[in-house]
Structure 1
Amino acid sequence: MSLFFSSSFMFAQIHTADSIGKPKNLKFKYEALIIPTILIGYGAIGLESHTLKDLNSGTRNELKEHIDEKFTIDDISQYTPFLSVYALNTAGIKGKNNFKDRSIILVSAYVIMGATVNIIKTTGNELRPDGTSNNSFPSGHTATAFMGAEFLYQEYKDVSIWYGISGYVVAAGTGFFRMYNDRHWFSDIAAGAGIGILSTKIAYWIHPLLKNSLFKDRDKLNGMIVPIYNGKQYGLGIVMGF
């Protein structure tokens, strides 16, 4: 069986070192919902609140005063946090889970995040700051980056908190450049961050169920990752066989 999901990417096979020991799974904690709920709530309220819309416009105007040219680093940086998990394991720095378990978690988080973002985008009608389309809310780049940042944090917080902090710094930078490049409002960034974080948390919570049902008899899992650029957009696709 194989899985494929994409934001426009293909895969070259990856061989990574597995962590030692049994995978540890997070237990559901209501307090873990506080930050993502606040972020998502802020973004949702920002769609209607005149005060928050004024803040969106003010932030955009402030950035435009200092913009000389656009930097599309956000097209790459959105993937950096979760790819860092595999890079660190390849370098011999063991994380919380082995390759199979962390990949199941990542795919679950990506599917949850991607489905949520795309459903909201296609059913919403929020004009982008640059006026190019009506799917500004929420920011998919930011959601991907914060999904990966939370993934990096959960896998390496017991090794060093700084891995997680660095992932969140990159994610925050991704959100900033989405605004800097005039692609999103601040409320889009806030909602995207909340969706990304929450998607990863949900993926860890449901991992025991997925592992003991869909993947119970699957001892090995292989994956491939290759970046693709279509002349306009960068993307990432994942093919996994197990």
Structure 2
Amino acid sequence: MKISIYLLLICLCIHTAQAQFTELPTADLADLTITNDQVEQNKPKRNLFTKRIIPFTLIASGLLLTTSDFEESLQRDIRGYTGDDFYLNIDDYTRYAPIVQMYAADIFGVEARNHWFDQTKNLLISTLVTSAATTILKKEVDKARPGDPSQLNSFPSGHTSMAFVSAAVLYEEFIDSSPLLAYSGYLFAVTTGSLRMMNNKHYLSDVLVGAGIGILTTRLVYHYEHLFSWNPFKKTDDLALVPQFTGDGVGVYFSKSF
């Protein structure tokens, strides 16, 4: 069963990557003139393949490393460096930091790719799909956590997958208007994954696969966002969605300007 799950993940990534080659528009043999506009239109489609390389590499690397002597040795070295009593729960919050960045940027008027409702919709869909995939894998793989072998839900890391969903959404929304902001979310995502290992909750492979799933799912959602483009607030400028974070959970509320 474990091998089947791994192969399914690899096939999913390969299929996703290969599918990009079929999306380039075909031209009649009689029309051999390629304009600059046509070249520019083709660039984003070729870049779709490039964007799949990173999550594919993360997932493939995680599958190769899982249950290996290397990652077990690495985990012992990390705990030896941090100490057996080391534990910080900051990773419970850093996974949501890119979401706070996104809505804060909206409030301060930073130009985004989408309306706030579409941002929220893409974030919600990406989160639900990633959470479902992560939960299924946790139950099917039954990999013991490094700090508590009785817990068989180590692979992949849910905290990390959520952190990279948040970071990938921030990236997609602001890469054209504010690259620094777009990339900054990944700092919080990497921090989250690193802390999961330092807290002895996950192995390296758990973090790598979680990151790959989060990025891959989000990029697929944005690639096909035209299929669910409904937005009842498109023409409403005086409404905004503001995130709310408390010690007990995460929520959102609407704000309206008068």
Answer yes or no: same fold by TM over 0.5. Answer: yes
Quote the Cα distance in structure 2 between the aligned partners of 1:206 and 1:108. 11
Q: What is the identity percentage for the equivalent residue pairs of Structure 1 and Structure 2? A: 32
Identify the residue that residue 101 of structure 1 maps to in structure 2.
118
| TM-score, with length taken from structure 2 | 0.72
Distance 2:130 2:170 in 1: 16
Change (3 A) 1:238 1:54: farther
> What do the CA deviations read for 1:138-185 (whole angstroms, capped 9, x no partner)?
011111111111111111111222112211111111100000000000
Matched ranges for 1:79-98 at <5 A: 79-98=96-115
Q: Judging by fraction of residues, say which structure has more helix.
A: 2
Residue of structure 1 in register with 2:51 after alignment: 32
Question: More displaced, 153-162 or 69-78?
Answer: 153-162
Distance, in Å, in 2 between the alignment partners of 1:109 and 1:189 is 18
Tell me the distance in 2 between the aligned counterparts of 1:27 and 1:104: 23
Q: When you count strand as a share of all residues, which structure comes out higher?
A: 1
With normalisation by structure 1, the TM-score equals 0.76
Aligned to 1:209: 227
Aligned to 1:112: 129
Partner of 2:80: 65
Q: Which amino acid aligns with 2:178?
A: S
Structure 1 residues not aligned, in runs of 5+: 1-25
- Using CA pairs under 8 Å that are at least 6 residues apart, name the structure with larger relative contact order, 1 or 2: 1
Indicate conservation of the 8 Å contact 1:104/1:207, yes or no. no
Kept in 2: contact 1:27–1:205 (CA 8 A): no
Corresponding residue of 2:250: 236
Give 1:71-220 correspondences, 5 Å limit: 71-131=88-148, 132-211=150-229, 215=230, 219=234
User: What 5-or-longer segments of structure 2 have no aligned partner?
Assistant: 1-43
Amino acid aligned to 2:127? Y
Number of aligned residue pairs:
204
